[in-house]
Amino acid sequence: MAIHGSIEGGGTKFVCAIGSSPDDLQAVATIPTTTPEETLSRAISFLSRHGPLDAIGVAMFGPLDLDRSSATYGSVRATPKPGWSGAEIVAPFQEAFGLPIGFDTDVNGAALGEGRWGAGRGLGTFLYVTVGTGIGGGGVIDGRPMHGLIHPEIGHLRIPRHPEDPFPGRCSFHGDCLEGLAAGPALAERWGRPVEDLGEDLDQAVAFEAHALGYAMANLVLTVSPERIILGGGVMHIPGLLDATRRQMVESLGGYVDAPALGDGAAGFLVAPELGDRSGIAGGLVLAERASSGLNR
Ligand code: ZN
């Protein structure tokens, strides 16, 4: 069986693994995200201690240049993350290994991983959205990861504010976009304390959060027409939030989209990830496999 290298490049850590499936990893390492030079050289050093590898997949925080015809393909685009704007990601791996390198966003990677081994199995068109310190989303359309102009930026969807919530949002670009209203840091700022300490405000917090997320999910149903949406990330562990988000999504759609999958309160449509925190590293394996088969888009 072909052995791949997989990198899940996050804003705080890079997870690196070797294997052919998330249940069959031969080695895993976690490297703190510091400068691009230091972080990538440690990742390359880890991969080079194992092998032989047949391909490497990198699922990386963005925004990224994914345009194969671009002179800066394989690099990070302008990002608020200090030191990472313009950082080349694919080139150092290519120079070190001379192997096919798959490259995509962390969320497209997670979608591919869930599609192969998790909650997206057997589906051609589905989305993966994660709600944590930020909100990101990607997906697969007819079996291929979503690209286009750059790549989806689902976290910055514009949605109506809850009429009873005065919180202005905290996105530095948009204020009250989805991420500005509903990511973990927005919740913390909105309520001035951690979710665990919300006490009697928990129901209200879940209602505001589900309002934002439910409208966003409804808009994704209307624009992308996915067969399923996988909704994960640390914030989704708040008790009752996934159910409340389903209800808000169905209510926002107003009965207009007539699809059996949306029946039963959309319980089988808007679902939690099945791979937990392994969907990203699983995605890196799929990206490697796609690259070794010549599928770079
Ligand atoms: Zn925004």
pLDDT digits (tens, 9 = 90+) for 248-295: 999 999 999 999 999 999 999 999 999 988 999 999 999 999 999 987
Q: What pLDDT score does 295 carry? A: 79
Cα of 171 vs centre of ligand 1, distance in Å, is 5
Cα of 167 vs centre of ligand 1, distance in Å, is 15
Structural domains in the chain, CATH included, are 4-106+280-292 (3.30.420.40), 119-272 (3.30.420.40)
- Which residues are CB-neighbours of 103 under 8 A, at least 6 positions away? 57, 58, 60, 64, 66, 74, 89, 90, 287, 291, 296
Q: Give the C-alpha separation, 109 to 130, whole Å.
A: 12
Cβ neighbours around 123 below 10 Å, total: 15
In this predicted model, what pLDDT tens digit does every residue of 2-15 receive, in sequence order? 899 999 999 999 99
Cα of 172 vs centre of ligand 1, distance in Å, is 7
Q: Give the C-alpha separation, 266 to 194, whole Å.
A: 29
pTM over 0.75: yes
Residue 97: phi and psi, rounded to 5, are -120, -25
* Res 115 pLDDT > 80: yes
Work out whether the CA dihedral 274, 142, 257, 213 comes out positive or negative: positive
HEC string for the chain: CCCEEEEEECCCEEEEEEECCCCCEEEEEEEECCCHHHHHHHHHHHHHCCCCCCEEEEEECCCECCCCCCCCCCEECCCCCCCCCCCECHHHHHHHHCCCEEEEEHHHHHHHHHHHHCCCCCCCCEEEEEECCCEEEEEEECCEECCCCCCCCHHHCECCCCCCCCCCCCECCCECEHHHHHCHHHHHHHHCCCHHHCHHHHHHHHHHHHHHHHHHHHHHHHHHCCCCEEEECHHHHCCCHHHHHHHHHHHHHCCCCCCHHHCHHHCCCEECCCCHHHHHHHHHHHHHHHHHCCCCC
Mean pLDDT of 69-97: 96
Q: Give the C-alpha separation, 290 to 67, whole Å.
A: 16
Cβ neighbours around 51 below 10 Å, total: 13
Q: Label residue 80 by pLDDT band (50, 70, 90).
A: confident
Candidates 253, 231, 251, 243; CA nearest to 206 is 243
Q: Label residue 20 by pLDDT band (50, 70, 90).
A: very high
Cα of 234 vs centre of ligand 1, distance in Å, is 19
Cα of 180 vs centre of ligand 1, distance in Å, is 6
Cβ neighbours around 207 below 10 Å, total: 16
> Parallel, antiparallel, or unpaired: how do β-strands 4-9 and 55-60 relate?
parallel
Asked which of 188-197, 227-236, 240-249 is least confident by mean pLDDT, the reply is: 188-197
Q: Label residue 1 by pLDDT band (50, 70, 90).
A: confident
Cα of 175 vs centre of ligand 1, distance in Å, is 6
* Res 297 pLDDT > 70: no
> Parallel, antiparallel, or unpaired: how do β-strands 13-19 and 4-9 relate?
antiparallel
* Res 108 pLDDT > 80: yes
Cα of 162 vs centre of ligand 1, distance in Å, is 17
Q: Give the C-alpha separation, 73 to 50, whole Å.
A: 27
Percent of the chain with pLDDT over 90: 93
In this predicted model, what pLDDT tens digit does every residue of 206-220 receive, in sequence order? 999 999 999 999 999
**Facing residues of 27 across strands?**
18
Cα of 154 vs centre of ligand 1, distance in Å, is 9
Cα of 51 vs centre of ligand 1, distance in Å, is 41
C-alpha angle 107-113-117 in degrees, rounded to nearest 5: 150
Cα of 168 vs centre of ligand 1, distance in Å, is 12
